[in-house]
């Protein structure tokens, strides 16, 4: 969800004369807030890139403050919450694209407006505009949900939109489960997508080394491609959802027949889950446009007519010469 807000009359504090010019710029320019499931992006309308970006969760202290100099505050937002996450209970504001706590969501928006970064400071069709297109299909896989949105001349086609509740948060949990079985306990998600997972399962996968936020390192083998495989095979966690490639194809197939070729030719990827190494190649290998080209295609029209006319059910539509002459008169 993308929001546009006019800051005029909002609760910006009065600034000294050195900030007047910057303040006037703010009050004359709408603020754009992209409420993507896992990350908030905020900036001013007309800019080429957002001004500020931070994780969309809040942190609440797990322990009562009893010492001077201890962590102060009742609620922590953005990178401050990430910095002190070991002392906080982290609460994600959305689950599968649905806001769970609107009070905390309001805290997030207030935080966006209060940050000094802003002083210097429906999303799919905006993505198409950003890529120079007005027609295409956006495959958006973020933190909590994945959906495919066909768009024609800048307008989304609601009847064709497909959605599944599988995205990067599910991958993180799935990866954590794999690593826990291997004896690790951490919260990062270093993964990539294999174009041929069956083949890689039979090979001795080269272990990759990853550095964790606490400075420690781990080595990950096959788990690095097993976890993101969840995007294409939700059945790995016993979900009955279709894979991301099928969601894309079904959305296009539900669109008008005349648009399908154009949509297949203008697929735009969006969201953090599409940034896995090898995602584009894997998707391309799964989404195949099958073309049937029979050798007798020069005569296919006639052959088809011949078959149709020979069917018993077609005889009911026949018109005799006498009926034709009577009706035409």
Q: Where are the beta strands (DSSP E) in the chain?
A: 2-5, 31-35, 39-44, 52-55, 57-61, 76-77, 88-92, 94-95, 98-99, 136-141, 146-152, 155-156, 162-164, 208-211, 217-220, 267-270
CATH of the domain at 204: 3.90.640.10
Q: Is residue 224 part of a domain?
A: yes
CATH of the domain at 315: 3.30.420.40
**152 and 248 fall within a common domain:** yes
Distances (CA, A) of 191 to 142, 158, 285: 15, 33, 19
The C-alpha atoms of residue 27 and residue 12 are separated, in whole angstroms, by 10
Contacts of 93 (CB under 8 A, 6+ apart): 56, 57, 58, 99, 100, 101, 104, 105, 108
- The residue segments making up the domain with residue 200 are 168-232
Residue 254's pLDDT is: 92
Q: Is residue 182 part of a domain?
A: yes
Residue 298's pLDDT is: 39
Residue with tokens 């769970």: 100
Per residue in 144-175, pLDDT (tens digit) is: 788 898 988 877 888 898 988 888 888 888 87
Q: Is residue 7 part of a domain?
A: no
The C-alpha atoms of residue 46 and residue 50 are separated, in whole angstroms, by 10
> Residue 259: how many CB atoms within 10 A of its CB?
18
**172 and 200 fall within a common domain:** yes
Contact in structure between 297 and 303 (CB atoms under 8 Å): no
Count of domains observed in the chain: 3
**146 and 36 fall within a common domain:** no
Distances (CA, A) of 23 to 107, 167, 203: 22, 39, 60
Q: Is residue 141 part of a domain?
A: yes
φ and ψ at 117, to 5 degrees?
A: -60, -30
Contact in structure between 59 and 75 (CB atoms under 8 Å): yes
**41 and 146 fall within a common domain:** no
pTM of the model: 0.52
Per residue in 53-62, pLDDT (tens digit) is: 787 788 877 7
Contact in structure between 146 and 245 (CB atoms under 8 Å): no
**217 and 257 fall within a common domain:** no
Per-residue pLDDT of the chain (329 residues; tens, 9 = 90+): 445 454 444 433 333 444 434 434 444 456 677 776 677 777 776 666 777 778 778 887 776 554 344 455 677 887 777 777 667 777 777 777 777 788 888 888 877 776 444 543 345 655 666 666 778 888 888 777 888 989 888 778 888 989 888 888 888 888 777 777 777 665 444 454 554 555 555 444 566 777 766 677 777 766 666 778 888 888 888 888 888 999 999 999 999 888 998 888 888 887 778 888 888 888 888 886 543 444 554 344 455 555 656 667 766 777 777 887 887 65
Residue 316's pLDDT is: 77
**247 and 194 fall within a common domain:** no
Residue 117's pLDDT is: 46
Over the Cα atoms of the chain, what is R_g? 27
φ and ψ at 70, to 5 degrees?
A: -75, 175
Which of 283, 3, 288 shows the shortest CA–CA distance to 148?
283
**291 and 155 fall within a common domain:** yes
């Amino acid at each position: 969800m993308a929001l546009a807000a006019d800051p005029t009359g909002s609760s910006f504090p009065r600034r000294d004369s050195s900030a007047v010019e910057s303040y006037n710029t703010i009050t004359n320019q709408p603020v754009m807030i992209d409420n993507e499931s896992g990350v908030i992006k905020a900036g001013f309308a007309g800019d080429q890139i957002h001004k500020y970006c931070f994780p969309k969760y809040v942190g609440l202290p797990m322990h009562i403050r009893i010492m001077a100099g201890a962590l102060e505050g009742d609620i922590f937002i953005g990178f401050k919450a990430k910095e002190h996450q070991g002392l906080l209970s982290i609460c994600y504001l959305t689950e599968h694209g649905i806001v769970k706590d609107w009070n905390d969501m309001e805290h997030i928006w207030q935080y966006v407006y209060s940050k000094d970064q802003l002083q210097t400071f429906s999303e799919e069709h905006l993505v198409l505009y950003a890529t120079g297109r007005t027609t295409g299909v956006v495959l958006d896989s973020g933190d909590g949900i994945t959906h495919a949105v066909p768009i024609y001349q800048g307008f989304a086609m609601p009847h064709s939109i497909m959605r599944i509740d599988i995205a990067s948060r599910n991958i993180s949990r799935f990866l954590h489960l794999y690593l826990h079985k291997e004896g690790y306990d951490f919260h990062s998600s270093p993964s990539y997508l294999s174009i041929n997972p069956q083949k890689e399962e039979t090979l001795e996968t080269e272990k990759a080394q990853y550095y964790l936020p606490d400075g420690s390192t781990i080595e990950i083998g096959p788990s690095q491609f097993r976890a993101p495989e969840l995007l294409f095979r939700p059945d790995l966690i016993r979900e009955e959802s279709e894979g991301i490639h099928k969601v894309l194809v079904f959305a296009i197939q539900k669109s008008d027949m005349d648009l399908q070729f154009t949509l297949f030719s203008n697929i735009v990827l969006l969201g953090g889950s599409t940034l896995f190494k090898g995602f584009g190649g894997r998707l391309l290998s799964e989404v195949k446009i099958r073309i049937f080209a029979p050798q007798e295609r020069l005569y296919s029209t006639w052959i088809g007519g011949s078959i149709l006319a020979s069917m018993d059910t077609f005889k009911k539509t026949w018109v005799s010469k006498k009926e034709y002459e009577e009706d035409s008169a």
